[in-house]
Amino acid sequence: MRKAAKITRASLRTPRAAAVAGIAFSVILGTALVLVRIAVPADPADAGAWLEDGWRKDAVFVALYMVPFAGLAFLWFIGVVRDRIGAAEDRLFSTVFLGTGLLFVAMLFVAAATAGALLEVEGSKAAAGISSDVWGLGRHTTYLVLTVYAMRMAGAFTIVTTSIVTRLHIVPRWLVIFGWIMAAGLLLIVESLSWGVLLFPLWVLVFSVHLLRHAPDDADESGRRGAAT
């Protein structure tokens, strides 16, 4: 009996752990993306002006150093959400859920590493400056990996997560609709929106706040896990 009580209390802490991890991810990644969006001009060919501005360059470096912590928070978010689902987890949905989440983190790291390497090379060249061809390749690679590929994985992750929580009746209908809208934006029009990359951290933030404010009580959680087994 005492062991069962401990398991129940541990499971009840899972939604709050997911909420804290999700909020941390949203704040860290959202801040990093805002810093980059403010510091870097929209024109990919414009490499001169902002690189000579110390504040802008430092802002981008700060944003890049924040990315690994955002990735770690997101991995924790994935783990505790899977634990929240528990034995009710479906193999098909869980595979897509885990796969898209890991791919998103991997592509986020690749984009950040490419951008960081580009800035390091530019700094080491000093007065000679960086080749326009190298700059163009690095800038466009970073943009494509982050906006086209990573955000598509984020959209797929949003879809499968929304599908799972809908089947388990974990979230209200308005949050389900909100999830579908965010997923559609991430899959279809994210690269057409100047601030479109913020859609994913926004969805995770709203989802996590709901988990934090509406953690299941003992009866709901015990009944759901019992029905799953």
Q: Tell me whether residue 2 is in a domain.
A: no
Paired tokens of 129: 């400056």
State the Cα–Cα distance between residues 125 and 127, nearest whole angstrom. 6
Instruction: Give the per-residue pLDDT at 57.
Output: 82
Contact 224, 168 (CB under 8 A): yes
Instruction: Give the per-residue pLDDT at 220.
Output: 47
Would you give the end-to-end CA distance of the chain in angstroms? 18
Q: Tell me whether residue 213 is in a domain.
A: yes
Q: Tell me whether residue 90 is in a domain.
A: yes
Q: Tell me whether residue 228 is in a domain.
A: no
Crossing angle (nearest 10°) for helices 151-167 and 173-184: 160
Instruction: Give the per-residue pLDDT at 69.
Output: 97
Instruction: For residue 77, give the nearest of 179, 207, 170, 171 by alpha carbon.
Output: 207
Q: Tell me whether residue 159 is in a domain.
A: yes
Q: Tell me whether residue 51 is in a domain.
A: yes
Domain count, the chain: 1
Phi and psi, residue 130, nearest 5°: -95, 145
Q: Tell me whether residue 61 is in a domain.
A: yes
Q: Tell me whether residue 55 is in a domain.
A: yes
Instruction: Give the per-residue pLDDT at 40.
Output: 80
**Longest pairwise C-alpha distance within the chain:** 72
Per-residue pLDDT of the chain (229 residues; tens, 9 = 90+): 444 444 444 444 566 777 899 999 999 999 999 999 888 876 555 555 666 767 888 899 999 999 999 999 999 999 888 877 766 667 788 889 999 999 999 999 999 999 898 888 776 655 456 677 777 788 889 989 999 999 999 999 999 999 988 888 888 999 999 999 999 999 998 888 878 999 999 999 999 998 888 765 443 444 444 444 4
**Domain coverage including residue 197:** 10-220
State the Cα–Cα distance between residues 162 and 58, nearest whole angstrom. 37
Instruction: Give the per-residue pLDDT at 119.
Output: 83
